[in-house]
Structure 1
Amino acid sequence: MSPDKGGIGVLMALETIRIKNFRSLRDATFNTKNLTVFVGCNDEGKSNLLRALDLFFNCDRRNGYVLNWARDFCGFAKASRNKAPQIEITLTFKLPSSFKLGEDVLWKRVWRQESRLEDEIRLVSGEELPSRSKAYSFLKAMRYDYVPAIKGPEYFERILSAVYDMLDATVRKDIRTAAAGFTTEIQRHTRGILADLEAQLGLKSEIELPTDLRQLFSELEFRSEIGGKRVGLSQRGDGIKVRHIPVILRWLADQANHLSAPGKPRAVTIWGYEEPENNLETRNCFKLADFFIKNSSSVQTFLTTHSPVFYSVFTGAHEDVRVFEVQLDPLAGTALTPRAASDPLDVDALHSSIGFHQLLEPHIRDWKQRVDQLQNRLTEALDLNHPTIFVEGPTDKIILEAVQKRFFPSRGEVRIVCATSNGGGHAWVKNSLIAWHHRQGPRRAVGLFDGDAAALVSLNEFAQIVTSRTKGSHRALQHRLNPAGVSLDISKAGLKIPVAIEEVCSRECWAKASAEGWLEARPNLNSLYKFEECDVSFNDWIGSRLPDVELRTIATMRVAKKFKEKFAKYVAEKISDPKCKFDFEPLRVLLSSLIDKVADPE
């Protein structure tokens, strides 16, 4: 933090902190930055670092930290025969060059069980500050806003009271004038009560607001409009509530900075913020983390977290961010380990310390499997010199090659390829396209995906890896099967049938499959077609939708996997027969569109 920049809190920097014998901290010394982050699990002592600063700055202030020796003295402290037990907190500051001190300033406070024993401000060299130095008032005017991990109603009452204190200090006259007007209006409507009091008790009374409006302010509400209705913050979810806190604290810091009289140093604000991730969804955690990074250039911030969202953003090579791993040693108390953002081993240690690895492991295993599949596809032979159509299985290849031979004999250079190993399917098609894209061959390729829910996973992944990252055109393309022929007739009845190559084949081919016993029932028909009727059976319902028996058979049955090849060979045989009158136009149109996609641009 540059101490000479303008702003509300960059007039100085708290550079080093040493805490001795406070709670779980036996002796902790660490250097700080604009944003200092403490990462660790619960009950490791993270919050004690922020509470120590709360004790240091706010022990003398109204509603400040109240020392409880039995609670706050360190249970890990080393016993000393010649010295009474004491808590020590020492802070080292770099003051602006305008103070002309030439070195850093040390501020030390010591507490014993009976009282605070020592409050010393001096140069780090041991010399006293110049007698007329403004450093004393500068340090004493510092503000420390501590935000606890649990941000309940009491905390919101406290910060709203702080808003009143700030307004009372900055615009007292305006507040008092408004209060006087409110009081006058109350008295106008209560004249009868006041007159009766004077008549019966002989007391001339008035109803007035209290001089201290702090309690009134603590009951105020932030209200916002939702759907045309005004809703108070107390009625909103915890996530919305906690997002108000940094905004209010920032306003308080701004106002405190404007309070300083001419010739006096500006008030400096420091934040101690516990677990900002509490009650926030992940998306807003990222937003809040970015806010802390930007805001810490003017308000030095100390923050605890056990969320990978926060420290992953904070470890993004920001020079003004320092990260510590916090762990509790059962013998020595809380210990801090600096973690470098640029060191993968340090980042890995943070992940391990909060159990993030266990959370990620299933996802890592899944991605490793995907990477292995893609690497296998890259090592397989890819003929990049021919326009290529990748299909999910051998039945697609058998049927489309027959269509190609009959309807597109002049386009024999277009190859139709399916997996010979590794299972095939939509994942294989997707990996083939990605491999084609990265190999950057001279010709184009298109992947044919079934029109079902399963293929969407691969289609989306292909879009993320290739389409969204490619500026302009690329040579790896995708094509999803849409309803055509019999499946289009079924879709027109309002039934969203999954479309594979079989669903583009003719009625006569399906009639053959039914007669040969090649069909099986489609699973989960109720959910597939979103059947939710209570007063009619599924069979009656689909019968009313599809009176055509052949279409109803196709909608409710599918070609069994073990008979797919027989079905494909039968279809190919009929396609190859020029005398066959089956409707192969949907298949011809499909292959035509695929060939157009892999054709070289003119």
Structure 2
Amino acid sequence: MPVRITRIEITNFRSIQKVVIDSSRLQIIVGNNDAGKSNILRALNLFFNDETNPGEQFNFNTDYNIYAASKDSKKAREIKIKLLLEIPRTYHATNGDLIEWTRSWRSSGFFDEKIIGIKSIVGARGGRSTQRNDIPKRSNIKALLQNVRYVYIPAIKDKEYISKLRSEIYFVVNDVFNENFSDSSKAFEKSIAENLDGLTQEISDSLGFSSALSLPRDLSSLFGNLDFLNEMRISLNERGDGIKARHIPLILKYIAEKTKTLQAQGNPPYTFIWGYEEPENNLELTSAIKLALQFKNFVPEPVSQLLITTHSPAFYNLSKHDDDVKCVYIEKDNSDITSCESDYSQLDDKMGVMELLSPYIEEVKSRIENFEAVSELGDDKAVIYVEGSSDKIIIEKAINIFIPDRAGFIDVITKDFGAGTNYVCDMLKAYFHMHKHHPEKYKCAGIVDRDADGDKARAELSKIQDVGKSVKCFPLPLAQDIIDAKKDGYLIPGVLECNYPSHLWENELANEKLEKRELIADVLSPIKNNELLQLARTVSDDLEGRPYRIKIENYVPKSRKVPLANIISHMSNDEARGCLLFLERTMTDLEKFLFPE
């Protein structure tokens, strides 16, 4: 894993007197205008690139904190930036577990740099302490740190910035494809010379000395004018600012990926850290949400770390449901002291009116994720969505048993965690909307439990006009003993495990894998409950001799769902057929729907 900044400490830089931020690989920084968010990214730009804004050299007089400058102090005026870095494990033995890297500037310019190794020490009694050590001379930590590439993307991404970015494509292309690129340049140069031969010959004849056209050795200015045309041959320069902005992270990603291919075996890896200021600028809400999801996919590869300043919940909402994304709120008090707050529950309130958009953005984000998830499906195989991992295992086994000719032409899809009826319903909706524009793709089906949630999901889907032309939601069929139990007034849940034959349940009970149902009354219908009360008869007495008794008194815990499904999956098809006979009709119906030909 490449280098990562785990803590940023900035002293006396621009509007910041002192701030300390613990940072994650995807770090969101929010706050009101003029709170100092952008100066955190600029401080990192100064630290790594010796400039503040892109192309703007450090100036101590304007970059030193005004509030600190007005204080009477005997200490020398100094800007200090200290980073705590997580480094690859292969560097720990020589350098320590973490690196503390400090750089400072005074009015005369760059002043000092210190690199310290921090090692975690385990005491004799198990306690931990830290030990600070100078970096040994034999260490290659400096080579590792020199390969850190910090890229600062300012809030205003104008034509000049995009042109400069396109110029940088030249340098990476020239390095990565050196020989091929050189040959192409020579061929281009030769073509120009041949077409302008008359001009060069006349110049040579008139002036008395040989003259030949040649491309400049540095073609970065040419690349700065590269254009991206859409299908209508419209120049990127003529398109909206939002479209231009969406190109920026993709160009940067390309540069990062190609640069990393230059790493020679045994050399320190390249690390790319982006400081991205207000990525929501010029983007409509849907594009901002798409970009936020895209950023998540960029980290940790090819971008080791991404720090974002933003006012938009399209970005800071990422931190609410993902432990790998952190968010801090930056604000100043009356004494001009900068502070950080990481209480997510207060983010919407502190960001003001945007809290009204936050729930809506979560819904739109979910839809976009679903659309992107289904967009690449259906070309080669039909699709079945199911509620969880155990369902996927069993349905795949049932396909092999009951419709084996289709086994290679169906994808059974779910999520490892957090799937369920709503997940299946949402994915079917997304697939339906995608299929309207791509009717040549295969159809899609879903299978949901035979319960209240499943009934609700199927009813919701049925309200969508023409939905049955491309997607269909099937209820999980019931085994005969569950049907008999319902007729007798016992409402055994219509979930997958309850349909397994009783002998599997008996094996689970013998191995103490089942859980006792605490309230058997929960599975009694009102009619059955009244019947037992009138007859003064206990449930235990009523269940005597009934084949489904074990399913009334016990249930399969979540921890046993996948192992139990795997037991069936590993059976021979002939043996498993008896366990999954309840699925035979549904498999036939699925085949007819998914493969109408």
Give the shorter-chain TM-score range. 0.5 to 0.7
Match of 2:116 among 108, 119, 122: 122
What's the CA shift for 1:335? 2.5
What's the CA shift for 1:202? 1.5
Give the aligned partner of residue 246 of structure 2.
Answer: 243
- Structure 2 counterpart of 1:193, one-letter code: L
What's the CA shift for 1:467? 11
Q: Does residue 1:88 correspond to 2:80, yes or no?
A: yes
Q: In the alignment, is the contact (CA less than 8 A) between 1:59 and 1:65 conserved in 2?
A: no
Match of 2:340 among 336, 355, 369: 336
Q: Does residue 1:353 correspond to 2:350, yes or no?
A: yes
Q: Does residue 1:472 correspond to 2:458, yes or no?
A: yes
Q: Does residue 1:301 correspond to 2:306, yes or no?
A: yes
Question: Which secondary structure state, in structure 2, belongs to the residue aligned with residue 470 of structure 1?
Answer: helix
What's the CA shift for 1:353? 2.5
The aligned runs of 1:325-474 (5 Å cut-off) are 325-340=329-344, 346=345, 349-356=346-353, 470-473=456-459
What's the CA shift for 1:22? 0.6
Give the aligned partner of residue 195 of structure 2.
Answer: 189
Q: In the alignment, is the contact (CA less than 8 A) between 1:45 and 1:326 conserved in 2?
A: yes
Give the aligned partner of residue 17 of structure 2.
Answer: 26
What's the CA shift for 1:20? 0.5
Q: In the alignment, is the contact (CA less than 8 A) between 2:332 and 2:339 conserved in 1?
A: yes
Q: In the alignment, is the contact (CA less than 8 A) between 2:318 and 2:325 conserved in 1?
A: no
Q: In the alignment, is the contact (CA less than 8 A) between 1:14 and 1:94 conserved in 2?
A: yes
- Structure 2 counterpart of 1:306, one-letter code: H
Q: Counterparts of 1:358 and 1:304 in 2: how far apart (Å)?
A: 17
Higher Cα radius of gyration? 1
What's the CA shift for 1:42? 2.2
Distance of aligned partners of 1:473 and 1:221 in 2 relative to their CA distance in 1, 3 Å threshold? closer
Give the aligned partner of residue 165 of structure 2.
Answer: 159
Q: Counterparts of 2:66 and 2:320 in 1: how far apart (Å)?
A: 33
What's the CA shift for 1:62? 13
Distance of aligned partners of 1:132 and 1:241 in 2 relative to their CA distance in 1, 3 Å threshold? same
Question: Which secondary structure state, in structure 2, belongs to the residue aligned with residue 290 of structure 1?
Answer: helix
What's the CA shift for 1:314? 2.7
Distance of aligned partners of 1:119 and 1:314 in 2 relative to their CA distance in 1, 3 Å threshold? same
Question: Which secondary structure state, in structure 2, belongs to the residue aligned with residue 256 of structure 1?
Answer: helix
Q: In the alignment, is the contact (CA less than 8 A) between 1:90 and 1:106 conserved in 2?
A: yes
Q: Deviations for 1:526-566, whole angstroms, at most 9, x for unmatched residues?
A: xxxxxxxxxxxxxxxxxxxxxxxxxxxxxxxxxxxxxxxxx
Q: Counterparts of 1:64 and 1:267 in 2: how far apart (Å)?
A: 23
What's the CA shift for 1:117? 0.6
Question: Which secondary structure state, in structure 1, belongs to the residue aligned with residue 24 of structure 2?
Answer: coil
Q: In the alignment, is the contact (CA less than 8 A) between 1:40 and 1:325 conserved in 2?
A: yes
Give the aligned partner of residue 583 of structure 1.
Answer: none
Aligned length: 355
Give the aligned partner of residue 110 of structure 1.
Answer: 104
What's the CA shift for 1:352? 2.7
Give the aligned partner of residue 11 of structure 1.
Answer: 2
- Structure 1 counterpart of 2:108, one-letter code: E
Match of 1:71 among 40, 51, 62: 62
Give the aligned partner of residue 476 of structure 2.
Answer: none
Q: Does residue 1:324 correspond to 2:320, yes or no?
A: no
Distance of aligned partners of 1:469 and 1:86 in 2 relative to their CA distance in 1, 3 Å threshold? farther
Q: Counterparts of 1:255 and 1:351 in 2: how far apart (Å)?
A: 39
Give the aligned partner of residue 511 of structure 1.
Answer: none
Structure 2 unmatched ranges of 5 or more: 119-130, 361-451, 465-597
Q: Counterparts of 2:102 and 2:463 in 1: how far apart (Å)?
A: 68
Q: Does residue 1:141 correspond to 2:147, yes or no?
A: yes
Give the aligned partner of residue 280 of structure 1.
Answer: 283
Distance of aligned partners of 1:264 and 1:360 in 2 relative to their CA distance in 1, 3 Å threshold? closer
Q: Counterparts of 1:306 and 1:22 in 2: how far apart (Å)?
A: 22
What's the CA shift for 1:333? 4.0
The aligned runs of 1:416-565 (5 Å cut-off) are 470-473=456-459
Q: Deviations for 1:283-333, whole angstroms, at most 9, x for unmatched residues?
A: 1211111122232233211000001222123322x1111111112334224
Q: Deviations for 1:3-49, whole angstroms, at most 9, x for unmatched residues?
A: xxxxxxx3232111100111111111111101111112222211111
Question: Which secondary structure state, in structure 2, belongs to the residue aligned with residue 198 of structure 1?
Answer: helix
Give the aligned partner of residue 320 of structure 2.
Answer: 315
Q: Counterparts of 1:77 and 1:61 in 2: how far apart (Å)?
A: 19
Give the aligned partner of residue 40 of structure 1.
Answer: 31
Distance of aligned partners of 1:133 and 1:144 in 2 relative to their CA distance in 1, 3 Å threshold? same
Q: Counterparts of 2:355 and 2:186 in 1: how far apart (Å)?
A: 61
Q: In the alignment, is the contact (CA less than 8 A) between 2:31 and 2:351 conserved in 1?
A: yes
What's the CA shift for 1:64? 5.3
Q: Deviations for 1:414-439, whole angstroms, at most 9, x for unmatched residues?
A: xxxxxxxxxxxxxxxxxxxxxxxxxx
Q: In the alignment, is the contact (CA less than 8 A) between 1:194 and 1:206 conserved in 2?
A: yes
Q: Counterparts of 2:242 and 2:297 in 1: how far apart (Å)?
A: 21
Q: Counterparts of 2:240 and 2:336 in 1: how far apart (Å)?
A: 40
Question: Which secondary structure state, in structure 2, belongs to the residue aligned with residue 106 of structure 1?
Answer: strand
Q: Does residue 1:56 correspond to 2:59, yes or no?
A: no
- Structure 2 counterpart of 1:294, one-letter code: N
Give the aligned partner of residue 402 of structure 1.
Answer: none
Provide TM-score, normalisation by structure 2.
0.56
Q: Counterparts of 2:51 and 2:283 in 1: how far apart (Å)?
A: 33
Q: In the alignment, is the contact (CA less than 8 A) between 1:24 and 1:48 conserved in 2?
A: yes
Distance of aligned partners of 1:169 and 1:473 in 2 relative to their CA distance in 1, 3 Å threshold? closer
Question: Which secondary structure state, in structure 2, belongs to the residue aligned with residue 472 of structure 1?
Answer: helix
Q: In the alignment, is the contact (CA less than 8 A) between 2:104 and 2:110 conserved in 1?
A: yes
Give the aligned partner of residue 428 of structure 1.
Answer: none
Distance of aligned partners of 1:282 and 1:357 in 2 relative to their CA distance in 1, 3 Å threshold? closer
Q: In the alignment, is the contact (CA less than 8 A) between 1:11 and 1:268 conserved in 2?
A: yes
Q: Counterparts of 2:54 and 2:275 in 1: how far apart (Å)?
A: 16
Q: Deviations for 1:87-109, whole angstroms, at most 9, x for unmatched residues?
A: 10111112111112332111111
Q: In the alignment, is the contact (CA less than 8 A) between 2:52 and 2:58 conserved in 1?
A: no
Q: Deviations for 1:39-80, whole angstroms, at most 9, x for unmatched residues?
A: 122222111111111111111899755102232111122646
Segment drifting more, 118-127 vs 35-44: 118-127
Distance of aligned partners of 1:62 and 1:312 in 2 relative to their CA distance in 1, 3 Å threshold? closer
Question: Which secondary structure state, in structure 1, belongs to the residue aligned with residue 233 of structure 2?
Answer: strand
Question: Which secondary structure state, in structure 1, belongs to the residue aligned with residue 458 of structure 2?
Answer: coil
What's the CA shift for 1:357? 6.0
- Structure 2 counterpart of 1:282, one-letter code: L
Segment drifting more, 183-192 vs 24-33: 183-192
- Structure 2 counterpart of 1:72, one-letter code: D
What's the CA shift for 1:126? 3.6
Q: Counterparts of 1:357 and 1:240 in 2: how far apart (Å)?
A: 24
- Structure 2 counterpart of 1:322, one-letter code: K
- Structure 1 counterpart of 2:336, one-letter code: A
Q: Counterparts of 1:282 and 1:469 in 2: how far apart (Å)?
A: 34
Q: Counterparts of 2:16 and 2:83 in 1: how far apart (Å)?
A: 15
Q: Counterparts of 1:304 and 1:199 in 2: how far apart (Å)?
A: 62
What's the CA shift for 1:128? 1.3
Question: Which secondary structure state, in structure 1, belongs to the residue aligned with residue 250 of structure 2?
Answer: helix
